[in-house]
Chain A
Amino acid sequence: ETGVTQTPRHLVMGMTNKKSLKCEQHLGHNAMYWYKQSAKKPLELMFVYNFKEQTENNSVPSRFSPECPNSSHLFLHLHTLQPEDSALYLCASSQVGGEAYNEQFFGPGTRLTVL
């Protein structure tokens, strides 16, 4: 595997379900991100993890719960979602600190539909 991978690629869930999105980066980076991309809206940053520690929570509802067990893996746990949460969820990673300019590399995304 190379780059940033995400599973599943597509997910359909009911409002009472609990599911998790998984992201893995194979780039040796030390920061990982969750973004939400809805139709006709800019990419919205949800969470930032630097060295496994959460450094940003961009006013995201508690029905989204991130987990970063190590610098290569990132999860987004979902529960009691609403239909308006249907979107493309993108994971990204980057190298921060030193000479790095924080170029972020994206995974393929999970297309989430909440019924």
Chain B
Amino acid sequence: QKEVEQNSGPLSVPEGAIASLNCTYSDRGSQSFFWYRQYSGKSPELIMFIYSNGDKEDGRFTAQLNKASQYVSLLIRDSQPSDSATYLCAVKMDAGNMLTFGGGTRLMVKP
């Protein structure tokens, strides 16, 4: 069964620190990788996606992909209390358009 795994947390970091969120996936043929942020009671919001090995930066967010090790991570620099949310990793595993989601990691940024 194709799976996407995330540590459920909560991951607690102080304000201003770097938050590191990790995700592993089982299917080596996976093509695209997405990070969503979901505030409590709200719907998931796309933060960024990555499809090539290496780093992709967007403001305070950096996505890192290592296909050989089958993991993708999200770094949040200068974490703010407003970053406190659940972060969902999603993987497009085949030629279709289905995404498989991980269970999410709850991040808490403490002032």
Q: Nearest chain-B residue to A6 (Cβ)?
A: B43
Closest chain-B Cβ to A63's Cβ sits at a distance in Å of 22
Chain A residues bordering chain B, tally (CB within 8 A): 23
Q: CB within 8 Å of A: which of B86-104?
A: 88, 90, 92, 96-104
B97 touching A48, Cβ below 8 Å: yes
Report chain A residues within 8 Å CB of B43.
88, 90, 106-109
- Which stretch in A11-19, A37-45, A75-83 binds the other chain? A37-45
Q: Determine whether A102 belongs to the interface, using a CB cutoff of 8 Å to chain B.
A: yes
Q: Determine whether B46 belongs to the interface, using a CB cutoff of 8 Å to chain A.
A: yes
Assuming the A-B contacts A48-B97, A50-B97, A56-B98, are A104 and B88 also in contact, with contact meaning beta carbons closer than 8 angstroms in the complex? no
Residue from the list A56, A88, A101, A108 in contact with B51, Cβ < 8 A: A101
Closest chain-B Cβ to A40's Cβ sits at a distance in Å of 8
Report chain A residues within 8 Å CB of B96.
55-56
Report chain B residues within 8 Å CB of A56.
96, 98
Report chain A residues within 8 Å CB of B92.
101-102
Report chain A residues within 8 Å CB of B51.
101
Q: Determine whether A94 belongs to the interface, using a CB cutoff of 8 Å to chain B.
A: yes
Interface residues of A (CB under 8 A from B): 31, 40-43, 45, 48, 50, 55-56, 88, 90, 94, 96, 101-109
Interface residues of B (CB under 8 A from A): 4, 32, 34, 36, 42-46, 49, 51, 88, 90, 92, 96-104
| The 4 residue pairs across chains A and B that have the minimum distance between CB atoms | A43-B101, A106-B43, A96-B97, A42-B103
Besides A101-B32, A103-B49, 18 other A-B contacts (C-beta < 8 A): A31-B97, A40-B103, A42-B103, A42-B104, A45-B98, A48-B98, A50-B97, A55-B96, A94-B97, A96-B97, A101-B49, A102-B97, A102-B99, A103-B34, A103-B46, A104-B99, A108-B42, A108-B43
